[in-house]
Structure formats: structure tokens, C-alpha cells
Amino acid sequence: MTTPEAEQSESVSAAGEPAAEGTGAHVPAGSGAGTAGDAGAGEAAGTGVEGAAAGGRPEERLERAVRAAEQALIEYEIAVDTFRIEIENFSRLHHQKLGPMYTRLDELEADIAEVRAALSGDPEDMRRAHEARARVMPMPGVEELFHGWMDSDGLFPEAQAMLTDQPVRTPPRVRPSEGARKLYRELARKAHPDLAQDEGERKRREEFITRVNAAYARGDEALLRELSAEWAAGPVPAERRPSPAEELYARLEWLAQRKEMLTLVARELEESAIGSMLRLAPDDPDSLLDEIAEQLLAQVAEKQAELQALRG
């Protein structure tokens, strides 16, 4: 079992080109400054003179930096996902193998606390016994699992409706006001799709009329007034498309942010309870489970002996 940072670093180094590009995507966890965005800035610094001298496009070096950062990020994502799956599998094995032993220990501790409370009659001992018994969580019944969803005759009507996608009751009829009717007619006449001169304009009008119909169906006069003002203002002007260089820089920035987010995910996995256990025996986690199982069995035996001694 290897950590995501170590595995990704090995993959990138083996790939050759991504490591040579200096993307910074394989730096240790927590060093957000050394990410793909920094590599892009370094690669782009010499594009003007060197690109012109080579007779190529100015964005070529920047494109190579983006490709290298993308490859490094892919390798890192694979490493993080692999580590996550290892933790999930180990967690499942841990629960299957050791869960019953932990449950048995909790039961024995609750039994011991209850016997002590019965012998002493001390309110503090009784409180401890109650807390110990509460930690032994019983399997909830069906009624508890579906609390608020079913009664003695079955599912409540609201729950049945949600499961079958059927309305639980007929929706109330909405009677639009005279003002809403007037606004609706005006907007329908102005924004009707048949008035469009091209396909793009028709699509815009169809989407707008859909919103108008929904507002009118609810009798929402205030929203119809907003839609009227929106239509009067005209279509939103098209935004200026970024240049190829701007798109590449934006891509590098996204890659850097993605790497930083994955680094946080990897750190959380490594610092979790199961991740910490895996670090104790990265090459043979099964032996770690066996060792813990032996310790738990010894504790169970001790608690059983203690309980037997208290009962006399």
C-alpha cells in the first residue's frame, strides 16, 4: 500500500515527459504553491522570443505545459482513487472481522457496570451503567427505521406518494389576477416564437415563453413583471470569447485547483482512523487485523473473568 503522493510521483517520473516539463503536480502533499499553474507561468514566460525564434505558434510551449499538467493530474487522481479503494476494502474487512468483538466488549462492559450498580446502589454507578448500556446499540425495528413514514396499516399517504411519484392530494387551482392575465397576454404577443427570424432567436423565445407560462400557471404577477422588464431590456450581449492563450492559462489554473483539492482528499484519507491503521502495516494489513483480533480476544477473556468474579 502506497500513499497517493508517492505513487503519483513514481508514475510521473516513469512517464518521462511530464516530469521533465516541470508541472509541479508531483510535489509532496500540502505544497499547493508548486502546482500546475506555476508550471504554466514558467513555461509561458519564454514564449514570446523563443516561440518566434523557432517559427512556431506562441502558445506551443504553453500547450505542452498544459498537456504535462493534465497527465500528472490523471496519475495523481488514479493514485488517490486507488488509495481510497484500499481504505474502503480494509475498513470493510475491519468491520467484518473485528466488529463482533467490539460489540462483545461493549456488552460485557455494560453487564459489568450494571452488576456494580446493583451491588453498590450508588447513583453515579447507575449513571455509568446506563451510559454503558446505551453504547450497545440494538438493531432498530422497522417502525423506527420508517419513523414518520408508516403507521400500523402501512406507509403514510405522503410516503406512498413520494415512492410512486403520485401526488398525495390534488394541487389547488390558481386563479390569476387580472394584472397577471394582462402581463401574460402582452408577453405572449411580444415573445412568441413564431416571430423569430432565425433558429437561435426561436430557441431564445421558446425558453422565455416556457418561463412565462410557468409564472402564469402559479399566478405569480410579480415574476411576470420581472419577465416583462427582462424582455424589454433585450437579449444579453454575447460574451467575448477568450483568446487561445487565455484558455490555456485558465486550464492550468483549473488543473492547479484540482490538484490542491485532491491533495486535501488524500490527506484526509491518510489521517483517518483506517488510514492511520494502514500506515502501521502498509505491506501486510491482514497481519495487522490478526494482531488486533488477538488483543480483542484477550480483552474479552479479561472482561468475562471480571464479570464472573463480580457475580460470585
pLDDT tens per residue, range 207-230: 999 999 999 888 899 999 999 999
Q: ∠ at Cα 225 (224, 226), nearest 5°?
A: 90
pLDDT of residue 22: 37
Of 226, 187, 229, 224, the residue nearest 205 (C-alpha): 187
- The secondary structure of residue 239, as a DSSP letter, is P
pLDDT of residue 153: 53
| Full DSSP string of 208-236 | HHHHHHHHHHTT-HHHHHHHHHHHHH-PP
Identity of the amino acid at 213: N
Residue-level pLDDT, tens digit, the chain, 312 residues = 556 655 555 544 444 443 333 333 333 343 333 444 444 444 444 444 344 344 457 788 889 999 999 999 999 998 998 888 888 888 888 888 888 888 889 999 999 999 999 999 999 989 999 999 888 866 555 444 444 545 555 555 555 565 565 655 555 556 788 999 999 999 999 999 888 888 989 999 999 999 999 998 888 999 999 999 999 998 877 777 888 888 999 999 999 999 999 999 999 988 888 888 888 877 888 888 888 888 989 999 999 999 899 887
Report the C-alpha gap between 34 and 132 in whole angstroms: 50
Neighbours of 263 (CB within 10 A): 22
Report the C-alpha gap between 8 and 24 in whole angstroms: 12
Query: CB–CB of 257/214 below 8 Å?
Result: no
pLDDT of residue 86: 86
Identity of the amino acid at 129: A
For 145, the grid coordinates are: 427505521
| Cα atoms in the 13 Å half-sphere on the side-chain side of 245 | 10
CA distances for 19 relative to 44, 84, 172, angstroms: 17, 24, 65
pTM of the full structure: 0.47
Report the C-alpha gap between 247 and 59 in whole angstroms: 10
For 32, the grid coordinates are: 499547493
* 157-179 pLDDT, tens digit each: 555 565 565 655 555 556 788 99
For 75, the grid coordinates are: 496519475
For 280, the grid coordinates are: 502501521
Report the C-alpha gap between 292 and 287 in whole angstroms: 9
pLDDT of residue 8: 53
Report the C-alpha gap between 228 and 232 in whole angstroms: 6
